Amino acid sequence: MAEDCVESLEVSINETIRLLMTRTGVRQIDLAEVLGMTQGSLSYRLQGYSNWKIDDLVKVAAHFGLTVSELISGYTAIAAAGRLPPAKTQPARIRPKAA
């Protein structure tokens, strides 16, 4: 039963980090650099093939302006608390003039 809790927490953390990355426009290579690892290593973590280290969660949370507790609480809880980082703004698309 404890293993199920740990596994679901890992899944929740991975999903939260992916959603935060999407919201802010942070690429895997960028976050990997913050963590001092390769993009491949980060990808493995996000897919659940390797576990997060506490030190890395501290760095991820700080990068998104959150606490580790907030990161672990999940994306929905972060949003409900009004603590989501600012969304990446999309560049304005310029429509070509009709000829």
- Report how many domains make up the chain: 1
The per-residue pLDDT for 62 is 98
pTM reported for the whole predicted model: 0.85
d(CA 3, CA 68): 21
Calculated CA dihedral for residues 77, 35, 5, 83, nearest 10 degrees: -10
Spatial neighbors of 63 by CB under 8 A, at least 6 apart, are 26, 31, 34
Residues 6+ apart with CB under 8 A from 23: 84, 85, 87, 88
Question: Which range marks the domain in which residue 32 is found?
Answer: 2-80
Look at 12-16, 73-77, 78-82, 87-91 and tell me which has the smallest mean pLDDT.
87-91
Q: pLDDT at position 96, please?
A: 67
Domain CATH for 73: 1.10.260.40
The answer to whether residue 86 is domain-embedded is: no
92 pLDDT more than 70: no
On whether residue 56 sits in a domain, the answer given is yes
Residue 88 lies in a domain: no
The string of DSSP codes covering 61-93 is HHHTT--HHHHHH-HHHHHHTT-PPPPPPPPPP
